[in-house]
């Protein structure tokens, strides 16, 4: 009687452990680093982060809009649908042409939750824009965004945008000034044939009148151009540093997501060992 009673207790314990194992399996599948095709179908698709973020100001007029979601939104099964789920408008209601870039999750699986949006033309300076996300935006596992999302941001002022546009021209002017200085120092100017009127103009250039600007003024203009070029280079460096920080943040989030499944994996291992141990005890009792 005691042996039969003990076997019943062991069988009940074994069934309980198997039940717990079945409960823990979906949790591990949801917290793991899967591709979004299994588990979590009941969880809606959501936007985790964006650059620019809602309310950002001084956004570059020629920058790219970056979006990070909680599920795979670039798989070929949903790519065509998702390309048509974004629109960009300015504060006057005009529609801005954009290109929606979806990475290949087979080649770059680490980018499967990211979408990049590039305006086809530079945006206007000191203007407010609205990026609208359609509720029909879909993940690989079929989950929908479900609600319309809007990201409102403002571009940088006209002065900053003009500095960036003039940067190549300023660099060329600075290079031309240096080249002219080198020719003057060499003492070998090219021979020029001049008539009487040209000679008079040349003499007036050598002995300028008080009303004409001197070489010192030109040097000051070149110095100002170099300062503006340096300022534009600093601004570009800040943008690159922000991009590096953004990429590092995304990588850290992916690593945290991958590591989150380790505690559940340990629990499953313990449960599996317990089930095997109980099975072994039952077989031993039968012998």
**Mean pLDDT in residue range 216-235:** 54
**Nearest to residue 105, comparing CAs of 134, 136, 81, 73?**
73
**Mean pLDDT in residue range 103-121:** 97
pLDDT computed for residue 29 by the predictor: 45
- Confirm whether 116 is domain-assigned: yes
Looking at 31-45, 88-102, 129-143, 144-158, which range is the least confident one? 31-45
pLDDT computed for residue 213 by the predictor: 47
Answer with the one of 139, 156, 173 that is the final residue of a domain.
Answer: 156
Helices 158-186, 215-259: crossing angle, 10 deg rounding? 130
- Confirm whether 240 is domain-assigned: yes
- 131: its two tokens: 């990026």
CATH number for the domain spanning 76: value is 2.60.40.1220
- Confirm whether 190 is domain-assigned: no
Q: What is the number of structural domains in the chain?
A: 3
- Confirm whether 171 is domain-assigned: yes
**Nearest to residue 123, comparing CAs of 85, 157, 169, 100?**
157
Characterize 58-97 residue by residue with b for buried, 16 or more Cβ atoms within 10 angstroms of its Cβ, and e for exposed.
Answer: ebbbebebbbbbbbbbbbeebbeebeebbebeeeeeeebe
- Confirm whether 227 is domain-assigned: yes
pLDDT computed for residue 275 by the predictor: 73
- 38: its two tokens: 């299994």
Decide if pLDDT at 62 tops 50: yes
Q: How many CA atoms lie within 13 A of 213 on its CB side?
A: 7
pLDDT computed for residue 244 by the predictor: 61
Cβ neighbours of residue 53 under 8 Å, at least 6 residues apart? 151, 153
Query: What are the pLDDT digits (tens) for 235-266?
Result: 555 545 555 666 666 566 555 555 544 455 66
Helices 2-31, 262-286: crossing angle, 10 deg rounding? 160
pLDDT computed for residue 190 by the predictor: 46
**Mean pLDDT in residue range 136-150:** 97
Looking at 34-38, 79-83, 107-111, 135-139, which range is the least confident one? 34-38
Domain range for 167 is 158-184+214-259
| Contact (CB, 8 A) for 155 and 127 | yes
Query: What are the pLDDT digits (tens) for 77-98?
Result: 999 999 999 999 999 999 999 9
């Amino acid at each position: 009687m005691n042996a039969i009673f003990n076997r019943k207790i062991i069988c009940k314990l074994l069934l309980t452990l198997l039940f717990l194992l079945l409960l823990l399996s979906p949790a591990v599948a949801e917290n793991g680093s899967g591709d979004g095709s299994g588990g979590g179908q009941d969880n809606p698709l959501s936007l985790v982060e964006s650059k620019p973020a809602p309310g950002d100001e001084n956004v570059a007029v020629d920058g790219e809009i970056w979006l990070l979601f909680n599920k795979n939104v670039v798989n070929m099964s949903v790519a065509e649908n998702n390309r048509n789920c974004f629109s960009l408008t300015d504060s006057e209601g005009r529609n801005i042409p954009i290109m929606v870039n979806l990475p290949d999750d087979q080649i770059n699986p680490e980018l499967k939750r990211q979408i990049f949006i590039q305006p086809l033309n530079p945006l206007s300076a000191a203007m407010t824009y609205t990026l609208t996300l359609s509720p029909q935006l879909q993940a690989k596992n079929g989950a929908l965004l479900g609600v319309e999302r809007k990201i409102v941001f403002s571009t940088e002022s006209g002065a900053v945008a003009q500095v960036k546009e003039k940067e190549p021209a300023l660099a060329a002017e600075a290079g031309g000034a240096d080249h002219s200085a080198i020719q003057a120092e060499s003492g070998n100017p090219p021979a020029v044939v001049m008539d009487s009127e040209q000679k008079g103009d040349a003499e007036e250039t050598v002995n300028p009148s008080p009303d004409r600007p001197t070489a010192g003024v030109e040097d000051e203009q070149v110095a100002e151009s170099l300062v503006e070029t340096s300022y534009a280079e600093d601004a570009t460096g800040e943008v690159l540093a922000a991009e590096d920080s953004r990429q590092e943040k995304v990588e850290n989030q992916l690593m945290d997501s991958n590591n989150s499944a380790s505690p559940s994996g340990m629990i499953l291992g313990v449960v599996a060992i317990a089930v095997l141990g109980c099975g072994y005890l039952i077989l031993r009792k039968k012998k």
